């Protein structure tokens, strides 16, 4: 029941006809990543590279690349795990309908890891230099582990119950790293940070195991947004359908027995530059100092396979992780966030920059006109807990107004609903100089920026425009207006030259020029961009450009803007400056030569023929 290691899983996929072996030599330096991304975009099979240039270990990719494949891998457990999770919301259901929950006790039993003295993972030792040197994008600073399971335990509460498994970026070569240390890039709001803080407080170094491969459920557990205090190792057992076997090592930190590889070490007091790295927002995350892990041992099993993925502008393989997690947890949202009915971290906008949500508005049910009140409480909760706290823009609407089945997963309908109902003088609420996603370079500084709660409730306040109004003379360099969707206008802007944290006087002039425009009331949202044609091509481009290239407090302006008692509002339209700024990280561009090599692999007679 459930796959215990990578080889078991790949053998099953191959027997099903859902795995492609590539025996031709493939370079882990960019080429393997290009193949994986293009196979994913084509909805293709899992991949097994049997001949990796400069490395004796085979590499596997796209294991989690389709929803159907994920359901196949976890076909024995997914329904029972969903039922077990629902018991948190509806405990009486198990009494009323026990036949629906008969598997839950056994699933709960599987959550407890099993201790072993030895296991396949510790059969052999190797070095960092002998591991696959995967580099995904041309400007990457070195080789990275892209599907790691980083295991740590609380120094104050050691053991499985106090453990954390996270998928944090791990750089194994390049920059200043030698063959005995790696860069451990963990971002804010991550569980390992609590463990590291506890170790520093106690004057200790934090022991860490970086696991690659093993039970597929371990990879899902590493990205699962579980409540604080619920260890990922327990969830991995439930989803995997078996107790995860753990080899107890002399240093006291266990190693998953069925893993393919494990890098064991301690976080030192040293920091070194890590990056750049092509990341999931669609840009490079730049070089910054991060903790160094001093490596003690590198273990691998005798039939070790190196699973990997590559990330970049969504959708990518990690999109499937997000969809799968939403499937498992969507019904739990109201139990975690009281009054919130559904949330949608918008993948095509880089996941964290844009969060859409539907909440209740019940604070004043007797009022003649509903307005955002409970929604603001809901919004603060979303921005203060779990992974939703990384959101930069939160659009939240009232369920009571959604009489025709509107929801936050139908993005065009949701935006129309919100823009029709928002009171622009009242409903934009900023949080300034706060923490934002580590990978987001649009803000005031590293990990620092702002957030916006855009809340809308009540009756329609405007009819959204579908024809361009006659625009006045705009400041030099601004023009080429396009309608993207009802109520949303795109304008071409001059090249941005502002410094970080500074507002652009030319954007202020644009707002002043537009404030008296007749018919602008139908366009509450205006977005200024470098390339209107690219931005207006589809919703994916629009969302990515708008919400990854702007910081709310710095880059929102208004046609008729005002500030009263420190509250900002606008009389006609809010204007988002979504131009590329001088201080933002560069977007990910492919290497043309490598793309040509992959094209050749897809030609007649090549291993990728008929797939991409």
pLDDT in tens, 338-376: 899 999 999 999 989 999 999 999 999 888 899 999 999
Beta-sheet strands, E only, within 3-63: 19-22, 46-49, 59-61
Residue 81 lies in a domain: no
Residue 582 lies in a domain: no
| Greater model confidence, 278 or 108 | 278
Domain match, 259 and 376 both: no
Region of 71 on the Ramachandran plot (φ > 0 left; ψ -120 to 50 alpha; else beta): alpha
Percent of the chain with pLDDT over 70: 94
Residue 429 lies in a domain: yes
> Average pLDDT for residues 517-546, to the nearest whole number?
97
- Cα-Cα-Cα-Cα torsion 32, 35, 37, 40, nearest 10 degrees, comes to -130
pLDDT per residue as tens digits for the range 226-277:
766 678 998 899 889 899 999 987 668 999 999 999 999 999 889 999 999 9
Picking from 435, 456, 477, the residue at the C-terminal end of a domain is 456
Tokens of 577: 């400056």
Domain match, 61 and 125 both: yes
Residue 80 lies in a domain: no
pLDDT of residue 219: 96
> Average pLDDT for residues 574-586, to the nearest whole number?
96
Domain match, 304 and 357 both: no
Over its C-alpha atoms, the chain yields an Rg (Å, rounded) of: 25
Residues 447, 438: contact at Cβ < 8 Å? yes
Residue 523 lies in a domain: no
Residue 511, CA distances (Å) to 221, 224, 573 in order: 47, 43, 9
CATH number of the domain where residue 238 is located: 2.30.110.10
| Greater model confidence, 110 or 151 | 151
Look over the chain and give the mean of its residue pLDDT values, rounded to a whole number: 92
> Average pLDDT for residues 279-285, to the nearest whole number?
94
Residues 216, 78: contact at Cβ < 8 Å? no
Domain match, 341 and 267 both: no
| Greater model confidence, 200 or 28 | 28
Domain match, 450 and 303 both: no
Rounded Cα–Cα distance for residues 179 and 126 (Å)? 11
Residue with structure tokens 């560069």? 586
pLDDT band at 92 (very low <50, low <70, confident <90, very high): very low
Domain match, 428 and 343 both: yes
CATH number of the domain where residue 332 is located: 3.40.1670.10
Domain match, 165 and 254 both: yes
- Measuring CA to CA, which residue among 345, 321, 446 is closest to residue 395? 345
Picking from 456, 484, 508, the residue at the C-terminal end of a domain is 456
Residue 249 lies in a domain: yes
- DSSP helix/strand/coil, 236: helix
Tokens of 170: 């791990």
Check pLDDT > 80 for residue 117.
yes
Name the domain count of the chain: 2
Domain match, 331 and 280 both: no
Residue 564 lies in a domain: no
pLDDT of residue 514: 96
Region of 391 on the Ramachandran plot (φ > 0 left; ψ -120 to 50 alpha; else beta): beta
pLDDT of residue 395: 98
- DSSP helix/strand/coil, 423: coil
Which phi and psi angles does 322 have, rounded to 5°?
Answer: -60, -45
Check pLDDT > 60 for residue 68.
yes
pLDDT of residue 249: 76
Residues 76, 2: contact at Cβ < 8 Å? yes
Domain match, 304 and 371 both: no
Lowest-confidence region among 31-40, 206-215, 430-439: 430-439
Lowest-confidence region among 83-92, 124-133, 326-335: 83-92
Residue 470 lies in a domain: no
> Average pLDDT for residues 414-419, to the nearest whole number?
98
pLDDT of residue 402: 95
Domain match, 262 and 339 both: no
> Average pLDDT for residues 113-122, to the nearest whole number?
93
Q: Where are the alpha helices (DSSP H) in 171-303?
A: 191-202, 216-223, 232-240
| Greater model confidence, 186 or 217 | 217
Percent of the chain with pLDDT over 90: 80
Q: Which residues pair with 59 in a beta bridge?
A: 49, 306
Sheet containing strand 114-116, edge to edge, reads 114-116, 245-247, 255-256
Angle at 517 (CA atoms; ends 430, 537), nearest 5 degrees: 70
Q: 102: which DSSP letter?
A: T
Q: The domain containing residue 425 runs over which residues?
A: 317-456
Picking from 288, 308, 328, the residue at the C-terminal end of a domain is 308
Direct distance between the N- and C-terminal alpha carbons of the chain, in angstroms, rounded to an integer: 33
> Average pLDDT for residues 523-550, to the nearest whole number?
98
Residue 184, CA distances (Å) to 149, 169, 180, 301 in order: 12, 6, 13, 23
Check pLDDT > 50 for residue 102.
no
Contacts of 169 (CB under 8 A, 6+ apart): 144, 145, 146, 148, 183, 184, 185, 186, 274, 277
> Average pLDDT for residues 527-543, to the nearest whole number?
98
Domain match, 132 and 241 both: yes
Residues 155, 204: contact at Cβ < 8 Å? yes
Q: Which residues pair with 397 in a beta bridge?
A: 358, 456
Query: Buried b vs exposed e over 463-477: b needs ≥16 C-beta within 10 Å?
Result: ebbeeebebeebbee
Check pLDDT > 90 for residue 385.
no
Domain match, 159 and 232 both: yes
């Amino acid at each position: 029941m459930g796959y215990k290691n990578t080889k078991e899983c790949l053998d099953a996929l191959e027997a099903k006809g859902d795995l492609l072996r590539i025996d031709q030599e493939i370079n882990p330096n960019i080429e393997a990543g290009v193949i994986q991304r293009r196979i994913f975009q084509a909805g293709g099979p899992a991949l097994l590279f049997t001949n990796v240039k400069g490395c004796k270990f085979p590499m596997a990719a796209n294991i989690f690349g389709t929803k159907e494949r994920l359901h196949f891998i976890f076909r024995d457990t997914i329904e029972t795990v969903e039922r077990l999770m629902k018991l948190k919301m509806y405990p009486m259901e198990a009494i009323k309908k026990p036949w629906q929950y008969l598997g839950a006790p056994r699933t709960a039993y599987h959550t407890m890891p099993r201790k072993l003295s030895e296991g396949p993972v510790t059969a052999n030792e190797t070095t960092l230099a002998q591991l696959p040197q995967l580099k995904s994008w041309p400007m990457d600073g070195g080789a990275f582990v892209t599907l790691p399971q980083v295991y740590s335990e609380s120094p104050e509460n050691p053991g499985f119950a106090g453990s954390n498994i996270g998928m944090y970026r791990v750089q194994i070569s390049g920059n200043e790293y030698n063959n005995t240390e790696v860069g451990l890039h963990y971002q804010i709001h991550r569980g390992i940070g609590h463990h590291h803080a506890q170790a520093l407080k106690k004057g200790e170094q934090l022991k860490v195991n970086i696991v690659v491969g093993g039970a597929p459920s371990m990879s899902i557990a590493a990205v699962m947004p579980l409540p604080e205090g619920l260890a990922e190792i327990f969830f991995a057992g439930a989803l995997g359908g078996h107790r995860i076997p753990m080899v107890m090592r002399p240093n006291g930190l266990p190693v998953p027995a069925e893993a393919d590889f494990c890098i064991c070490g301690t976080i030192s007091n040293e920091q070194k530059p890590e990056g750049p790295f092509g990341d999931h927002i669609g840009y490079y995350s730049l070089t910054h100092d991060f903790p160094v892990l001093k490596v003690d041992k590198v273990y691998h099993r005798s039939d070790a396979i190196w699973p990997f993925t590559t990330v970049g502008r969504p959708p990518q393989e990690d999109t499937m992780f997000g969809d799968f997690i939403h499937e498992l947890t969507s019904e739990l949202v109201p139990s975690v966030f009281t009054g919130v009915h559904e949330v949608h971290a918008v993948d095509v906008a880089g996941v964290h920059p844009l969060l859409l949500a539907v909440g209740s508005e019940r604070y004043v049910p007797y009022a003649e006109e509903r307005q955002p009140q409970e929604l603001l409480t809901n919004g603060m909760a979303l921005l203060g807990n779990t992974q939703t706290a990384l959101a930069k823009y939160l659009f939240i609407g009232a369920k009571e107004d959604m009489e025709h089945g509107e929801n936050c997963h139908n993005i065009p309908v949701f935006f129309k609903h919100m823009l029709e109902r928002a009171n622009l003088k009242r409903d934009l609420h900023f949080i300034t100089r706060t923490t934002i996603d580590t990978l987001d370079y649009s803000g005031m500084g590293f990990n620092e920026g702002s957030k916006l709660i855009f809340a809308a409730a009540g009756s329609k306040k405007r009819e959204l425009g579908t024809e361009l109004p006659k625009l006045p003379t705009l400041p030099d360099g601004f023009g080429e207006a396009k309608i993207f969707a009802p109520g949303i206008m795109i304008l071409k802007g001059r090249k941005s030259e502002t410094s970080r944290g500074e507002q652009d006087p030319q954007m202020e002039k644009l707002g002043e020029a537009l404030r008296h425009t007749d018919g602008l009331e139908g366009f509450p949202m205006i977005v200024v961009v470098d390339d209107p044609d690219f931005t207006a091509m589809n919703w994916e481009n629009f969302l990515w450009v708008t919400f990854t290239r702007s910081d709310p407090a710095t880059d929102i302006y208004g046609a008729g803007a005002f500030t009263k008692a420190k509250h900002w509002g606008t009389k006609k339209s809010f204007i988002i400056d979504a131009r590329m700024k001088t201080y933002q990280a560069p977007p990910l561009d492919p290497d043309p030569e490598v793309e040509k090599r992959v094209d050749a692999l897809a030609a007649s007679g090549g291993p990728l023929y008929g797939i991409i």
